[in-house]
Structure formats: C-alpha cells, structure tokens
Amino acid sequence: GSHGGAWRKRITDLDGSEDEKDFPWWVLDCVLNNRLPPRENTKCSFFLQPYEGATIQISTQGKLSAPRILRIHKVINYVVEKLVLDKSADVIPGDGTFAPGVAGGPLQHSAVGDGTLRSGLRPWQRLKPSIEILCNNQVLSPDMSLATVRAYIWKKPDDLVLNYRLQQSR
C-alpha cells in the first residue's frame, strides 16, 4: 500500500470498497489531483577535468550530461576522441601509449612494431588503455556506470566531478 513495499493490483480486482489507505500516494495524486508522478531523472550531470598535475588537457563545455547508465569506458573514449580532435597529442607511438609533446609535429598515424599500420582501429582506440578516469582520487573501473560512481564513490548530492589523466605505470 502507501506505506512501503511494492504495490500491484489489477483494475479488475477493485470492487469499490477500497479505502484511500489501500492505494499508493502516486495513484491518489494522479486520480484525485490529475498529476502524473515525476519521472525519475535518467540523466547524470558531471564535470570532466584534468587530474591535478596532469600533462594533458581537453576542451569541454563545462558541465556534461549523460544517461546514468553510461559506462566509464565511454567517458574514456570521449576524452581520447577529444585529445585527437583537439590535436593535443603530437604523436601516437607504435606501442599504443600516449606521448604528448614528442616530435613536435601534427598528429600522425604510426606503424605497429612490425612497421605495418594496424587496420580497422581509429587512432584513439589505440590510445584508450593509456587514459584513466578518477573520482575522489580513486581510479574507476571502465565497467562502472555513472550511477554507480555517484552512489558509491562520489557520495555527494552535488554534480559529479570526474578527472582524467594518463595511466600511471604500476
């Protein structure tokens, strides 16, 4: 009923003898006041900033918004794509690591160790493993969702703050 727990009843099960206390508050609000229940917010607002002391920067438009179910690996893709598009990266070495400032030329597609160009991979897909996303100084698993990060790592009512940096060698 209206005091916790799931409530489910078919309209055909109602016989007219029910009291207001037999219905959830949202049903009464809808029927008596003609108001629909508020939609659950499916979006998550967050800021994406370089980690303190990070050597890379991307241009973002301040606050970002994405579905709460968005995984961190998609945020990594976003950062890497922005790095490539912003031309912040000078060279992508053949080993797939990210090396800003090396050989001061424009972004180049480099050859894999054997000298052949890896086919089918965009430049940022080779970069992906070298970027990590953090929240509250904790490195996030690429499989975590924004909702999970917000609930278990951020733990604050205000907008989520995510940081990015080059992956630290372990």
How does the average pLDDT of the chain come out, rounded? 76
**How long a stretch of residues is the chain?**
170
- Confidence grade of residue 22 (pLDDT, cut at 50, 70, 90): confident
CATH topology of domain 43-166: Ubiquitin-like (UB roll) (3.10.20)
pLDDT digits (tens, 9 = 90+) for 99-121: 443 333 333 333 344 434 444 55
How far, in whole angstroms, is CA 137 from its chain's centroid? 16
For residue 86, the model assigns a pLDDT of 72
Which of these, 167, 159, 158, lies nearest to 134 by C-alpha position? 167
Which of these, 47, 82, 50, 49, lies nearest to 166 by C-alpha position? 50
Least confident of 20-24, 86-90, 145-149, 152-156: 86-90
The SS3 of residue 45 is strand
pLDDT digits (tens, 9 = 90+) for 37-88: 777 778 999 999 999 988 888 887 789 999 999 999 999 999 988 888 776 4
Q: Sheet of 138-139: strands edge to edge?
A: 63-67, 43-50, 160-166, 131-135, 138-139
Longest dimension (CA), the chain: 81
Residue 107 burial by Cβ neighbours in a 10 Å radius (0-12, 13-18, 19+): middle
Instruction: Supply 69's token pair.
Output: 């179910």
- Confidence grade of residue 167 (pLDDT, cut at 50, 70, 90): confident
Instruction: Supply 164's token pair.
Output: 């990015």
Q: What percent of the chain has pLDDT over 90?
A: 36
Domain coordinates in residue numbering, the chain: 1-38, 43-166
Encoded amino acid at 51, one letter: Y
What does the CA dihedral 65, 68, 72, 73 come to, rounded to 10 degrees? -90
The SS3 of residue 118 is coil
